[in-house]
Each structure stands twice: as structure tokens, then as C-alpha cells.
Amino acid sequence: MPLHNAAATETACADCALRRLPLFIEHSAEELTLVQSLKHREMRLGALETLIHEGQTDAPLFTLLDGWAFRYKTLSDGRRQILSFLLAGDFIGVQQKMGDAAAHGVDTLTPALFCVFQRDALWELHRRSPTMGFNITWLTAHEESLVDDTLLSVGRRSAEERIATLLILLFKRAAALQADAGAAGVPFPLTQQHVADGLGLSLVHTNKTLRKLERRGLHRIADGRLFLRDVKALARLADLYGDGRPPQRPLV
Amino acid sequence: MPLHNAAATETACADCALRRLPLFIEHSAEELTLVQSLKHREMRLGALETLIHEGQTDAPLFTLLDGWAFRYKTLSDGRRQILSFLLAGDFIGVQQKMGDAAAHGVDTLTPALFCVFQRDALWELHRRSPTMGFNITWLTAHEESLVDDTLLSVGRRSAEERIATLLILLFKRAAALQADAGAAGVPFPLTQQHVADGLGLSLVHTNKTLRKLERRGLHRIADGRLFLRDVKALARLADLYGDGRPPQRPLV
DNA sequence: CGACGTGTTGATCTCTCTCAATTAGAGTGG
DNA sequence: CCACTCTAATTGAGAGAGATCAACACGTCG
């Protein structure tokens, strides 16, 4: 994804790479102008850098334009839980109330490009374009449903099932951002430590489970790319219904 | 909380019991009229009934006016994860995209009163009152932060720590809805099975852990009420900082 | 070339789960 | 008033998934 490299040259919203993705909806010229006017600047971070510190009080709003990142929380003794992974198009920072401390940190996984908005952009957006405001609400709700899915995994799935679920869901999200679906695989910039922290598992057990699935031919991770070798088997493990099909309650 | 009992007599938004709670912000007369116009009807359920079935496609929007409920997901073999508990004032149903299947079920814990809105009320609200729209966005984001907290618990806290965390957080939320904070305790309509499903634990282990904490004098649950006996000790277990204070990363 | 980050594997250890049984209370019907 | 049933809470015992501890391999980098 060749975005402009020179710090001085910022992309106009109308030319934003995100808009080229089939995933994103059309916006009117006025909406684009509005967003453009709220856009404060762009920001570029390297891999494994911190965008928002846990407990930071003045974090602005961001949109992730390119790259991977993740939200997380830590306990005082260092135990870390990754709350969600962020891909291009994701909105960052709605969670913390204005003037409040950030409830979670955000780190990058890869070099990443962010669109930075002023603190009050959220309100301005609502005020000046209810349509966009509505979209934001919906986006926020969608983010929550991702966390819901993870909570189900971490709370009720076995290690194998959790890994299968994560691989499928991340694959789908990443695949939606690129042209060729299956053959080339999708980028997979997570270390096993990230996988572990995202699934509430230990690093060692994550490694062992990952290897087990790989040896069974369900997937393959190599050179920072993920390939799904046996989606059927993975989906069976993950107990994922085609999409949104209601689960069957046992007759017991 | 004496709400009207006769099915025919519905409360006007201006007289809504929720507004009397110090927790809720003021709204202008126009805003109340708007909400009133979008309000479809009220709905009353008994304890342990289902408001929204998992996978249901046409669920409307609700506000919980009185009582307790919870959102949950289940796997096909019956394993259930409770995603969040719902108390008076909580909004229900933003998560599912219009026309989409509900990603989670909602059951009541106690008899409950709901305010029912049409499917497109969310959009109307945004369109006709950006202020309210903004509030909805914020409310949705806040809901997510609750799920984030739970995910941290389930992913990284021990059974003892999870229980302590849940007790404190539920106590706080319930206490905010009533006058007397400490002495009388707060309602606690969850069975141990609910606690277990909310924390990703088994019923048996939940029971044992609960008893251990109770025997240590940290809390007491009796007659459907929860009393916190030693908040300090509970907070220490839960690793909860006063409120939003950033956690200390270990120097290791 | 040594230090470091990441991945890998084996050997324990333990927290939590599963299985089983008992108690207590609420509701029902005879 | 008393069996009978059902649900929720409780407790003990054994089993197991996953955590922790320890080494080692490999590639990158200053």
C-alpha cells in the first residue's frame, strides 16, 4: 500500500487509500470536506511503538490508515490482555470519555499511519453530519461485537479452539483489505506473545497449540504471513457457524 | 422503584424514573419530546425470561428502565459466556446492525421493564438531535469499556481476582442507582451460575472461591443482596486502582 | 561475536474442571 | 401436614488443561 512517504505530503481525505477499498462506503463530497476540516494531521509510527499509553489523559482520536496495531490493558504486575487488534480503517479512541484517562493502551505491530483528529472532532462530526455520526455509533458498536467474540473465546473455548477462532477471524479481516484472498495468504505481524496475550493463554502453551494445529495441516504461518490450509477443520474447531447462523442449543 | 403497574399506563419520558437518578444528565424539553415520539411502547418481562434470542433477526432497540438483565453468547454445545450485565439506564441492541442477526442473546435476571424503540429510532435520533446521537455514541463506547474490563479479568486474572473484581464493579454500578450506599447493600439477583458464566469459570469453582472470600470476611451475599465487608481487601485482590490511575509496569 | 528477541520442546506443578453426593429451601399435590 | 420435586448452594475427590520452569536453536544486529 504505497501511501505518501514524505511527512510534508499528507493525503487528502478524498484521495484516502481507505476509500479505494471495496469495504468502505461512499461518502458525499460535503462529508469528505467535513472530515478533511476536522483532520488535524497524519502521524507515522514504526513497528512496536506506543500510540496511546495506558492511563494517558489527553489522547486525541485516530483512524488507522495503514498497518496493524492493538488495544490492551495490563495489571500492575505486568500481566497483559490484548483487547482487540486494529487494522486499516479502524477508529481509535472513542472509548475514553473526553477529558478522561485512556482505559487502555494502543501499540503498533507494524509501521503504521494514523489520521489524527482533534479532541472535539467526535462532537463536531455528529453536529455537522448526523450521517457520519450515525456511522461512528455503528462503528463503535461493531468494535464492541469484536470484543464480545473474543470474550466468548477467552471465557469458554479451549486453547485449540481459541487459536482456530483467532486465525479465522483475523484472516477474514485481513483478507477483506486486499485483493487476492487465498493463495498469497494475509500479513500476520503478531508474535506468539501477542497471540497469547490476545487469547488469555501463556506463551508456551500458545506455541505448543499453534504447532499442533500447524502439524495437523490446518494452517501455516511463515515469513509474517498466515495461510489457512483447512478452513473447514478450523471452523469446526472454532464452532463458527457460516455467518450469523444461530447456534443450536443442546437438547439436554 | 415504584413504576406504574397497569399495562395501559405508560410513563411519559418526561416522568421517566431514570431521570430522577442523579446519574443521568439533563435533557431539554425538545429532546424529551423527540425521544417520546420515537418510543414505541413499554414491555414488561418476568425474571429469567428472554428479551432477545441469540440469532434473532428483527430485534428492536430497548432501554432498560428497571430491573437486571444480561447479554450472552453460547457455543453450539451449550457453553455460555455472559458478556455484560445490564442495569437500569442501559441501552440494548445497538450492537446488531440493522437487519442483521443479533450477535448475542439478552435474558432478564429480575422482573424488568423495558422501553421499546423502533428499529430506525437510532437513525432518527441522530438525525434530529445530534446531541442525543453523540450521547448514544458515547454510551456505546462506555458499554465497550465494560466488556474490556471483563475481558481483562477473564483473560488474565485468577478465579479469586475475577470474583473480587466482579463484586466491586457490580456493587458500584448498583449502588449508583440507589440512595443508601453501604449499610443496606445492593440487590444481587445473580445465581452462582451467572457469576460463573460471566467470569469464564465453572460453577463448582465459582462456589468454592465465593465461599473462600466470604469466609475471609471480604463480602457477604444473603437474601439476594450483596454487602462488601472489606472493600480494601477486595480492591487489592482485584488490582483496581482508585479510578483510572495508570498501572505501574514492573521494572523487570 | 556476543546479546537479544522469537520460536521450540520437555518436565513438572497447580489451578481449575469434572464427577458425585448432600443439604436446604420453595413450590405442589395429596 | 407431609411426601415429592426442583433449583441453588455446598463440599470432597480425582483428573486434566494449561501454567511455570528450564534449555536450546536460530536469526538479526550493533
Instruction: Give the residue-averaged pLDDT of A172-187.
Output: 87
As a whole number of angstroms, the distance between CA A137 and CA B230 comes to 39
Least confidently predicted of A31-40, A51-60, A106-115, B15-24:
B15-24
Residues of chain B with C-beta less than 8 angstroms from the C-beta of A104: 148
Most confident of A21-25, A209-213, B183-187: A209-213
User: Which of A87, A102, A130 is the C-terminal boundary of a domain?
Assistant: A130
Nucleic strand C under 7 Å from the C-beta of A110: no
State, as a whole number of angstroms, the distance between the CA of A140 and the C1' of C5. Answer: 35
Using CB atoms, pick whichever of B97, B100, B150 lies closest to residue A151. B150
Top residue of B151, B202, B206, B239 to mutate, by most chain A CBs within 10 Å, is B151
Co-location of A106 and A156 in the same domain? no
Question: Would strands B105-108 and B69-74 be described as parallel, antiparallel, or unpaired?
Answer: antiparallel
Task: Indicate whether A142 belongs to any domain.
Answer: no
* Amino acid making up residue A28: S
Co-location of A125 and A10 in the same domain? yes
- Please choose, from the candidates B246, B240, B247, the residue with its C-alpha nearest in 3D space to the C-alpha of residue A56: B246
Interface A–B counts its CB contacts (< 8 A) at 184
Give me the pLDDT at residue B249, please: 39
Co-location of A156 and A196 in the same domain? yes
User: Which of B97, B130, B163 is the C-terminal boundary of a domain?
Assistant: B130
pLDDT score of A97 more than 90? no
Burial class of residue A11 in the structure, from the number of CB atoms within 10 Å of its CB (0-12 exposed, 13-18 middle, 19+ buried): middle
Q: Categorize the per-residue pLDDT at A99 as very low, low, confident or very high, splitting at 50, 70 and 90.
A: low
Task: Indicate whether A144 belongs to any domain.
Answer: no
Q: Categorize the per-residue pLDDT at A181 as very low, low, confident or very high, splitting at 50, 70 and 90.
A: low
State the residue range of the domain holding A156: 150-238
* CATH number of the domain enclosing A175: 1.10.10.10
Number of domains in chain B: 2
Give me the pLDDT at residue A152, please: 98
Q: Categorize the per-residue pLDDT at A243 as very low, low, confident or very high, splitting at 50, 70 and 90.
A: very low
User: How far is the first Cα of chain B from the last one, in angstroms, to the nearest whole number?
Assistant: 52
- Looking at residue A10, what DSSP letter applies? P
Co-location of A122 and A159 in the same domain? no
Task: Indicate whether B144 belongs to any domain.
Answer: no
Co-location of A114 and A155 in the same domain? no
Least confidently predicted of A161-170, A239-248, B27-36, B103-112:
A239-248
* CATH number of the domain enclosing A19: 2.60.120.10
Co-location of B70 and B11 in the same domain? yes
Co-location of A170 and A88 in the same domain? no
Q: Categorize the per-residue pLDDT at A248 as very low, low, confident or very high, splitting at 50, 70 and 90.
A: very low
The distance of B66 to chain A (nearest Cα, Å) reads: 23
Instruction: Give the residue-averaged pLDDT of A183-193.
Output: 93
Q: Categorize the per-residue pLDDT at A22 as very low, low, confident or very high, splitting at 50, 70 and 90.
A: low
The nucleotide minimizing the C1' distance to residue A215's CA is C8
Least confidently predicted of A31-45, A175-189, A231-245:
A231-245
* Nearest residue to C16 via alpha carbon and C1': B205
Task: Indicate whether A137 belongs to any domain.
Answer: no
**pLDDT averaged over 10-residue windows placed end to end, chain B, 252 residues:** 46 78 75 86 93 88 95 95 96 75 90 91 91 89 94 98 98 91 86 98 98 97 95 94 44 31
DSSP assignment of B89-141: T-EES-SSPTTS--SSEEEESS-EEEEEE-TTHHHHHHHH-HHHHHHHHHHHH
User: Which of B98, B130, B162 is the C-terminal boundary of a domain?
Assistant: B130
Residues of chain A with C-beta less than 8 angstroms from the C-beta of B100: 244
Co-location of B122 and B9 in the same domain? yes
Co-location of A13 and A113 in the same domain? yes
Co-location of B126 and B156 in the same domain? no
